[in-house]
Structure 1
């Protein structure tokens, strides 16, 4: 497909043909050139529309573009991006190229550089942050990963809205018009639908750290992994925790802090309590496709060790009624002092709004770092969370690890 400037060049050449045919009074040549001009004008109109749409494009959602997604995962290097921003002599052509796409998605230019969040979705090998970094030439496969929690809410099905600008208000129907049967020639009763709105507003999470010049110049893949692990842990997991139990104000309001979610008090056993939670979701017409439980690893231990009256293990599927269940250290264990979080619901009802990819600002001139030849790095992301329908979630209360029975 010809580009806009190529079509404009063709049009100029065709106009020249028309002028030449007109001067020579060559009607046949003039008619042919005129037909060609109409074809080119039609193509120009389409090209201009495509060009205008491309300029207005808010950015491709990388998660939906597998080719671009795979290219970023395989090529993008945090170390190269940061080293280039610090003025070090590295080849960071791809990292610079992808900044335009990330700026479209964020709806603004980066304060420093954008880091695509997709690169954190696969766990990476990391080394200890203490001591010297060891060259990886000999046995890179033997490096030991740091023991960190894993993000869970996206994997459970939370909806991610990227490329946001300003506050986002989404209308929500809270009550449908009443319907009913009437006799012939009888009037229907008037009834209106009720609406409110779910609002997402920018909240900021960040981390401040310092890296040595040698670290950024290292060719070691473990240095790249170390930087990714730091950014993913300090920001990604912070967002994840807030989505579960954020308190609002400066941080997002998570599921457990949302007004209106259903609650189910612990009664008799986890088996019975979980059945009651499922029933409450059923009665509230909660969709079943993305329903699942989320709770702590301590609850997993309780369930795993429990046995029935004949000494046989209950088993996790039995206790959770064959519903999907995820155990995570991201779930709070100190609700009301000693309660463990246990949530059941449709996780696609959780919205995660993203205004900014992870935004890295590199400052090689910060006084403390500069005196040592190091680089100060600030990483920030701007997000918010909201629940579309609070009744889509049931919070099980009173799960005390010391007293709960299966």
Structure 2
């Protein structure tokens, strides 16, 4: 019997004994032999229930103190057995989901996830494999699932995330993260002086679900294959379809339909109109004065070329960007950071602590297959829509400095 059931039964017996005694008290008499016998029986039952309660409580406490069995591996094994191709084919063939795919979707629906198509785990798009083979599936089964090392969807192509952004997976609804805005200050006092209140102040940063999706096309012949290499090919195609849009938004996002990108959110600005070593150090000094320790530069390929061909000091060896680093910090180069439009266009450079970025992901990836879309149908192909939900917010906007005046 469960602990709560034992307690309910004991409470009922106590109430029964109280009712028996109350009858005699109301009539202002002692209990008679029959009532005494009934009371003794109830008393014995209460004592027995108290013994059961003590034993059940002991077991619950012991179980609570027992180290739990990690469930990450079991979940990883389930997710690793899910096939993206099977998710598409089940919709094309209009059949019920089976196996690991059915189990995963049932679990997601129990957690409140809704989908127009079929849900597949985000982890399918995160794993790293040294090689693919058509003779074994070992390459797609993780040896050790590390939830603490989770890297979100699209890891291979997301420049911002590769620079250290923190990923918060499996979110539900809006996520509010408290943030300390000001700190207390210490004060030196003379004898009898009173301390001045310098209490902390707080505000919040919020991650809100924002949806990104794309439509791609797969041939029927491709979907009829059933080996790990083709499965990985389909996954990589989905990654490539969505990754550029996500990465672009993390930098240029307007904060309306898209996440608020770094160019919009960052509060620090700098200038490299005069491109020299002293100007670079001035930019870094501005971050140091805010107690920010930057970990990366981010720039466009044309800006990188300019930096690689600009001497640190006239007449002396050494360039501003040398060996992939500038002023001791690594430089990430991507076309995802656009030049600033104008006549002429100027180059952009972002520097900051990219670990101050939170990237949130909601739920799984929704895959909806449409075999009757007009164009793909005529070619014997299948149209596939991919949807995922994410958002990005810097924990501290002052952790980044944006420079937009580099002459090219």
User: TM-score, structure 2 length as denominator?
Assistant: 0.68
Alignment correspondent of 1:391: 398
Indicate conservation of the 8 Å contact 1:274/1:319, yes or no.
no
Q: 2:304 corresponds to which residue?
A: 300
CA distance in 1, matches of 2:358, 2:51: 54
Matched, 1:269 2:272: no
Structure 1 residues 252, 193: CA separation in 2 closer, same or farther (over 3 Å shift)? same
2:264 is aligned with 1:257: yes
CA contact (8 A) 2:261 2:392 kept: yes
More deviation in 91-100 or 272-281? 91-100
Q: CA deviation at 1:151?
A: 1.5
- The verdict on how the C-alpha distance between 1:264 and 1:312 changes in structure 2, with shifts beyond 3 A counting, is same
1:112 Cα offset (Å): 2.1
Distance 1:227 1:183 in 2: 73
1:158 aligns with 2:153: no
CA shift in 2, pair 1:396/1:35, >3 Å: same
Superposition TM-score, scaled by structure 1 size: 0.69
Assess, with a 3 A threshold, how the Cα gap between structure 1 residues 361 and 331 changes in structure 2: closer, same or farther. same
**Greater Rg by CA:** 2
* Structure 2 spans left out of the alignment, 5+ residues: 3-49, 136-155
Number of residue pairs aligned between Structure 1 and Structure 2: 338
Contact 2:325 2:331 in 1 (8 A): no
CA-CA distance at 1:369 after TM superposition: 4.8
- Which residue does 1:321 correspond to in 2? 327
> Is the Cα–Cα contact under 8 Å of residues 120 and 364 in structure 2 kept in the other structure?
yes
Tell me, in whole angstroms, the C-alpha distance in 2 between the residues paired with 1:281 and 1:331. 21
* Alignment correspondent of 2:118: 113
Query: Retained in 1: the 8 A contact 2:216–2:241?
Result: no
Q: Distance in 1 between matches of 2:251 and 2:336?
A: 8
C-alpha spacing 1:365/1:265, structure 2 compared with 1 (3 Å): same
SS in 2 for 1:394: strand
Q: 1:101 to 1:244 in 2, by over 3 A?
A: farther
Task: Between 310-319 and 381-390, report the one with greater CA deviation.
Answer: 310-319
Asked if the contact 2:353/2:399 (under 8 Å) is kept, the reply is yes
Give the equivalent residue in structure 1 for 2:226: 219
- In structure 2, the CA distance between the partners of 1:198 and 1:310, relative to structure 1 (3 Å rule), is same
Give 1:174's aligned residue. Answer: 181
C-alpha displacement of 1:347: 0.8
Matched-pair contact (CA < 8 Å) for 1:356–1:383: no
Q: Per the alignment, do residues 299 and 75 of structure 1 end up closer, same or farther by CA in structure 2, a change over 3 Å counting?
A: farther
**Which residue of structure 2 aligns with residue 79 of structure 1?**
85
For structure 1, which segment, 37-46 or 324-333, has the greater mean C-alpha deviation from structure 2 after superposition? 37-46
Cα deviation 1:190-238 (Å, max 9, x = unaligned): 3332222211111111112333322211236554344223321222221
Partner-residue secondary structure (3-state), 1:189? coil
Aligned CA RMSD, in angstroms, stands at 4.1
* Cα distance change of structure 1 residues 44 and 193 upon mapping to structure 2, 3 Å threshold: closer
Per-residue CA deviations over 1:259-298 (Å, capped at 9, x if unaligned) read x521111143253333222211111011x3x721111222
